[in-house]
Chain A
Amino acid sequence: MLEPEEVAAAVPESDKTLKIEAFVPCSQIDTTYFDKPYYLAPEKMGTEAFVLLRDGMAQEKVAAIARTVLFRRMRTVLIRPHGKGLIASTLNFDYEVRSSEQAFEDIPDLKIEGEMLELAEHIIGTKEGGFDPSTFDDRYEAAVAELVKAKIEGRALPKKKAPVASKPSDLLQALRESAGLGAGEGKPKRAAANANRGTARQKATKSAQKPKRSAAAPTRRAG
């Protein structure tokens, strides 16, 4: 048995310092270790050095690895420039993150090339766009509210059609059709194969018309 004091004694005292141990090129950083991000801002006296460090890292395209004691735990943090300031992200330790290679080891090494690859690349091209995470709306609460309402009113709950996996022999054809449809995808032109897709799309557009974040935010918190 370990008494709580003994566990605490294994952690070094906090000296309120982020000791930078090394810099690492941003392109090499394995983001799967990221835990929580914190904004770092200078105290009154440190702005000159802070800004120098920030711009130096930005120009060298590196981030800093530092160690500190946070909330009685020894943590490694990654510090990098963000807008006018810096962000320090705590990193999880190696034993806390599964190796992606191990997770993916059973996936066969298939060579995808030729027409299939080109078609998929083309499809990606037609769906290319910007994305602003801050405008994303969580529709789940509204959907659950709908569900409860339906139950109270004794209505039948909407039945969802199960998704159907593409057959390997149909893959090339499915890619061709997807690439052919392009922007006009919303229209349920075809019959059987598209049955699920059509309904799903209609549901999606309906929800998108609902008011966004301001309505979604309070309901989400209640979950």
Chain B
Amino acid sequence: MAVRPYWKGYLKLSLVTCPVQMMPATSENEKVRFHTLNRETRNRIVSHYVDAVTGKDVAEDDEVKGYERGENEYVILEDEELENAALESTKTIDISTFTSRGNVEWIWLDTPYYLSPNDPVGEEAFSVIRDAMESRNMVGISRLVISRRERAVMLEPRGKGIVVWTLRYGDEVRDEDLYFERIGDEKADTEMMPLIRELIKRQTSAWSPKMVADPVQARLLDIIAAKKKALKKPARPKGRTTPPPQSSNVINIMDALKKSVEAEKRAKR
């Protein structure tokens, strides 16, 4: 799949450096996309950048970042200068630490990227780093500048490649104690535990791609298909349709638990 890479740079472990490229794992590609149209003419709408003083159009090449140092006094910074900003982590992922996967809790995972070698010259070095992490069951920790911010990143081997996760900043994760205060130190009823575990076991299944399928997309595509057919007649908006009821293999845990608790109480009397 030829996709233009989002980022190109280097992966480094001590003295071993290999050229790599990175692309975001999440893509907007196949979502049902809408263009914004002018209702009157059915033409697409575009946006224009104009000079705030002259009102004239500005070419993209002429757009430049300026730092305001005083009243209308700017220091011009070229994109290249900003990109480099004297930090090694703009161009190189230098793995400084390794730790076990369990040490980085899921809550810290922000955005995943796929990292792969960019040049046959570096394929072996890349594979060595990846396989060593895999065999020691560890993840790599490093720094990387993305979108003008330096992020902590976690490197995780996956199949033939490596997944790079940006990690959230400390002040981006709210303190859980605030929200979990009401729960306190309450422990689960030990007599109820075997019941809930049995319930859970019965409802446990393997991960399946169906779990991440989108029922709404399918419905939207149906609507669009129906509209295409009716294109000769001006289509009137359909009334609000109620979706079919959820399938019967959904168990309302709370009801089930309440019933179990009731049953136990009765049994004890």
Residue from the list B163, B204, B237 in contact with A62, Cβ < 8 A: B204
Question: Residue on A with the closest CB to B118?
Answer: A165
A130 close to chain B: CB less than 8 A: yes
B253 close to chain A: CB less than 8 A: yes
Distance to closest chain A CB from B212 (angstroms):
5
Q: Verify B179–A85 contact, CB threshold 8 A.
A: yes
B215 close to chain A: CB less than 8 A: yes
B149 close to chain A: CB less than 8 A: yes
Q: Verify B91–A9 contact, CB threshold 8 A.
A: no
Q: Verify B69–A152 contact, CB threshold 8 A.
A: yes
CA distance A73 to B121 in the complex (A): 46
Question: Residue on B with the closest CB to A102?
Answer: B1
Considering only CB atoms and an 8 Å cut-off, how many residues of chain B contact the other chain? 141
CA distance A102 to B23 in the complex (A): 12
Q: Verify B123–A110 contact, CB threshold 8 A.
A: yes
CB-CB under 8 A from B189, the residues of chain A are 48, 52
Question: Residue on B with the closest CB to A7?
Answer: B220
Distance to closest chain B CB from A182 (angstroms):
9
Q: Verify A24–B211 contact, CB threshold 8 A.
A: yes
Distance to closest chain A CB from B243 (angstroms):
4
CA distance A163 to B16 in the complex (A): 11
Distance to closest chain B CB from A170 (angstroms):
9
CA distance A167 to B35 in the complex (A): 48
CB-CB under 8 A from A223, the residues of chain B are 148-149
Query: When each residue 26-53 of chain A gets 1 if its CB lies under 8 Å from chain B and 0 otherwise, what string results?
Result: 0011111110010101101011111111
Distance to closest chain B CB from A27 (angstroms):
9
Q: Verify B163–A136 contact, CB threshold 8 A.
A: no
Q: A28-B207, A135-B170 are in contact. Are A85 and B132 (CB under 8 A)?
A: no
CA distance A98 to B111 in the complex (A): 13
Q: Verify A74–B14 contact, CB threshold 8 A.
A: no
Q: Verify A28–B206 contact, CB threshold 8 A.
A: yes
Question: Residue on A with the closest CB to B141?
Answer: A131
Q: Verify A20–B251 contact, CB threshold 8 A.
A: yes
Chain A contacts with B in 46-104, Cβ cutoff 8 A: 46-57, 59-60, 62, 65, 67, 73-74, 76, 80, 82-85, 87, 89, 91-98, 100-104
CB-CB under 8 A from A204, the residues of chain B are 88
Chain B contacts with A in 15-51, Cβ cutoff 8 A: 15-19, 23-31, 34, 37, 39, 42
Q: A6-B223, A93-B217, A133-B108 are in contact. Are A158 and B86 (CB under 8 A)?
A: yes
Distance to closest chain B CB from A126 (angstroms):
9
Q: Verify A140–B176 contact, CB threshold 8 A.
A: no
CB-CB under 8 A from B128, the residues of chain A are 112, 116-117, 120, 171, 175
Q: Verify A143–B170 contact, CB threshold 8 A.
A: no
A213 close to chain B: CB less than 8 A: yes
Q: Verify A23–B132 contact, CB threshold 8 A.
A: no
Q: A42-B183, A55-B193, A204-B88 are in contact. Are A95 and B106 (CB under 8 A)?
A: no
B240 close to chain A: CB less than 8 A: yes
Q: Verify A41–B179 contact, CB threshold 8 A.
A: yes
Query: When each residue 135-177 of chain B gets 1 if its CB lies under 8 Å from chain A and 0 otherwise, what string results?
Result: 1101001000100111110000011110100011111011010
Q: Verify A133–B200 contact, CB threshold 8 A.
A: no
Question: Residue on B with the closest CB to A80?
Answer: B106
Q: Given A110-B123, A178-B15, output 7 extra A-B contacts at Cβ < 8 Å.
A: A21-B249, A23-B205, A52-B192, A104-B114, A107-B116, A133-B167, A181-B15
